[in-house]
Structure 1
Amino acid sequence: MAEIQPGPTFTQGLDFTSNKIGNHGASRADLAYERAVAIIKEKLSLMKGLDALLTVNLGEERPPIVIDARSGDAKLLDQVMDEPDTKVTIKPEYITQFYEGKLEPCYGLFKDAFFHEASVPQGDIPVAIKFADLLTPDPPMPPRPYTPGMRVPQPTEDIEQVKRDVQEFGYGLVANQAAGEARAGIAARDVGSDAPSQRVWTLINKGDEFVDFLNHPLLDAVVPWFLGEHAVLTSYTANIARPGNVPMQLHTDQVAIQPPQRGLAYGLNVMWYLTDVTDRNGGTRVFPGSHRGQVAPGDLFDLYETVAAVAPAGSALLFESRL
């Protein structure tokens, strides 16, 4: 009997056994790293304003990139001689996405923090943010700081004024919503709660009164005007803020929409004030007018030069998603 020789082996579908691409055998990781390094080198002349020693870790298998921008022009160092002011650990792909305008820096720098604590920038956080901003095609300008005496929105029953405020400042305050409901005979009376700070999610599933609330005339007056006739309700929650609550960092509500879109607002929030809201008891802090243009704060954790959107109980705060 003749011996049967094995024939060629054919594999159907995709081959995931190798990440090599191209004739030269360079891996995708190699190309991503090289691209990120080239971008950093290209943008190096812009980094003299960092005034810091910065290390950028683009992977565990690679040495950190050391940027010395402590005086004069920024330059790359072969090794770290002093303790860096800031340490950034980030995927090289994110550097390219910053450069191409496909990923917003303040989002990208903290994008993986939930899964990998080591990816959180260390040291001087504003330096990390400014570094990432400088990689973008159009680095943002800092928002105009609030100063005492600056004209900002005031609670008003004039819906047209509220609309004008939203367009000019990014937010507006509607006064006496509770009183209006009382005059209309639709006010719901109840006692307050001493529960600790908590957020109650998905109110639309919590009772018919919350479903009815979505038919409030204020929503009909402003939502179609701002978002069009086919807006989608994406969040419907209640927040009970008590003493000792930890504030959030500064952010826009459309920060997760990537590539970043500063020229278009994707959302409009209506926040009903069930109690008097002040700058001492948790009033939402804003940079008035920061919804316009390429604007972003250098330090997400510094509330200096912001203003609290204060108003008495029964008011409603309207603010758009770029603020």
Structure 2
Amino acid sequence: MASYSLPRPSANHTPTLRFHNKPYDASKLEKSDLFIYHVLRVCDLINERKSNFDGLNMLVELSFGDQPQHSIVIDSRSKRTNILERLPEDTQADLATKISPEFVLDVMEGRINAQQAFRLYAQPPCPGAFASRFSALGPPASVVSRDELDLESLPKPTENIQQIKDDLKKWGYAFVANALTADEVKVIRTALEEQAAGERQAGIAHMASLHKSSEDEPDQRVWNLVNKGDEFLDLLNHPLIDAIMPWFLGREFGLFAMTANIVTPRSTSGIYMHTDQMDMTPNTANHPYLLNIFWYLTDVTDEKGATRIYPGSHVKNVAPQQIRDVGGSIPAAAPAGSCLLLDSRTWHSTGINRTDSSRPIICLTCCRFYIQRMEKHDLFLSEETKERLSDRQRALLGLPPKQTSNGIDKRGWGSIYKLGGIDAGRLRVAV
């Protein structure tokens, strides 16, 4: 059973529809019985797949609750992994962590990425090599390090759309040269910095410190940019969207989110290697769910916190050995006005900005038509912004077109199929 469940049903409106006495009705189970069932299921899966832990050379105590009987010990210190009921006498575990069994099942049955589960739900958090061995895809291989690559063959800024597509397919990222002029960069950067300052002054700014040390200032995230000025809305008219998104994501793609990440200067920390579809199910490397466009509003260098990327990590079951370290990644450096395109399967991290000035970047992310948007535009856009949207922008945001008469399609761009009667209400004829 998955960790996620809906709220309990309310009473049905139709008295004769009761759905009683179903043997699979989990709401009738005692929580303690359900917990024990999940613990036993996890232990069975770990025993079945214990060879996945071979080579870790660790003694790990994995607890599912507060009682000793609700734990398991994974001993991979010898050639073959052994599963124990308790720690050997006078022995201390290399790692001891606690996590609800439902989350482990989500990982081992392919509903959530192992790194996310053991980062968000384990206490203490323990993403990394141990977590990766629970993956439903099997133990990942190591990512290819920069020392193993021909750096001259890696993507470079270009306006050749075929080269951009080829780079995306081969490496999981690409650069677009001269996407914005110097004047356009100035206009958009000014709008972003003023918006960020306004949110700080209003006390509503999202200051992100999750992956930074206590000595470093937090970075600032600015969400839902489409609601925060015409300069950001205008980016939705950029021809790069038309040139790359339908090819990469297919028809009916939409805007997943449009955010900014302003990395603070003089930092010493902040690395967290991840992929952008870690939270999406099924957990797969077979196809991407998203494509990011990072708009560079300053010259982005390694020293200034360029995004760290593992080239080619998008098409294989791989993971970095070190999640909180740059490791063998490369910096995605490019001049202001460039764009970085990033496949959602590619392993990457925000870089560390060691300069004396901030690193502002806008991230415009699009998704396949069946993916739920991160920013729910129908809820979080003001009525004033909605009135200003063109039909193109409304289509990207999943909103119906303004005109709904004289033959204009009321269903909007967000429906692939011609669904007769979809906008009707209750309409009954006795039969």
| TM-score (normalised: structure 2) | 0.62
Describe the shift of the 1:68–1:212 C-alpha distance in structure 2 as closer, same or farther (beyond 3 A): same
Describe the shift of the 1:312–1:188 C-alpha distance in structure 2 as closer, same or farther (beyond 3 A): closer
SS at match of 1:223: helix
Report the Cα offset of residue 29 of structure 1.
1.8
Alignment of structure 1 residues 239-258 onto 2, 5 Å: 239-245=261-267, 246-258=269-281
Match of 1:30 among 3, 20, 36: 36
Partner Cα distance (2:27, 2:319) in 1: 43
Describe the shift of the 1:299–1:216 C-alpha distance in structure 2 as closer, same or farther (beyond 3 A): same
Describe the shift of the 1:91–1:189 C-alpha distance in structure 2 as closer, same or farther (beyond 3 A): closer
**Are the aligned partners of 1:59 and 1:90 in contact in 2 as well (CA < 8 Å)?**
yes
Alignment of structure 1 residues 45-84 onto 2, 5 Å: 45-63=51-69, 64-80=71-87, 81-84=90-93
Residue of structure 2 equivalent to 1:9: none
Q: Which runs of 5+ in 2 are unaligned?
A: 1-17, 198-216, 347-431
SS at match of 1:49: coil
Amino acid at match of 2:125: V
Percent same amino acid among aligned pairs?
36
Of stretches 189-198 and 233-242 in structure 1, the one that deviates more from structure 2 is: 189-198
Match of 1:105 among 84, 109, 114: 114
Amino acid at match of 1:268: L
Residue of structure 2 equivalent to 1:236: 258
Is 1:138 matched up with 2:138?
A: yes
Of stretches 155-164 and 42-51 in structure 1, the one that deviates more from structure 2 is: 42-51
**Are the aligned partners of 1:279 and 1:310 in contact in 2 as well (CA < 8 Å)?**
yes
Describe the shift of the 1:254–1:46 C-alpha distance in structure 2 as closer, same or farther (beyond 3 A): closer
Higher relative contact order (CA 8 A, sep 6+): 1
**Are the aligned partners of 2:74 and 2:82 in contact in 1 as well (CA < 8 Å)?**
yes
Describe the shift of the 1:284–1:190 C-alpha distance in structure 2 as closer, same or farther (beyond 3 A): closer
Q: Which runs of 5+ in 1 are unaligned?
A: 1-11
SS at match of 1:168: helix
Match of 2:100 among 91, 100, 106: 91
Match of 1:126 among 122, 125, 128: 128
Is 1:19 matched up with 2:21?
A: no
The two structures, once aligned, show a CA RMSD in angstroms of 2.8
Report the Cα offset of residue 190 of structure 1.
7.6
Alignment of structure 1 residues 150-169 onto 2, 5 Å: 150=151, 151-169=153-171
Residue of structure 2 equivalent to 1:4: none
Structure number with bigger Rg? 1
SS at match of 1:233: strand
Partner Cα distance (1:220, 1:41) in 2: 50
Describe the shift of the 1:46–1:237 C-alpha distance in structure 2 as closer, same or farther (beyond 3 A): closer
| TM-score (normalised: structure 1) | 0.81
Partner Cα distance (1:190, 1:42) in 2: 54
SS at match of 2:258: coil
Residue of structure 1 equivalent to 2:238: 216
**Are the aligned partners of 1:88 and 1:128 in contact in 2 as well (CA < 8 Å)?**
no
Partner Cα distance (1:307, 1:66) in 2: 37
Q: Deviations over 1:264-319 (max 9, x none)?
A: 11111111111110111110011001111222223311211000111011111011
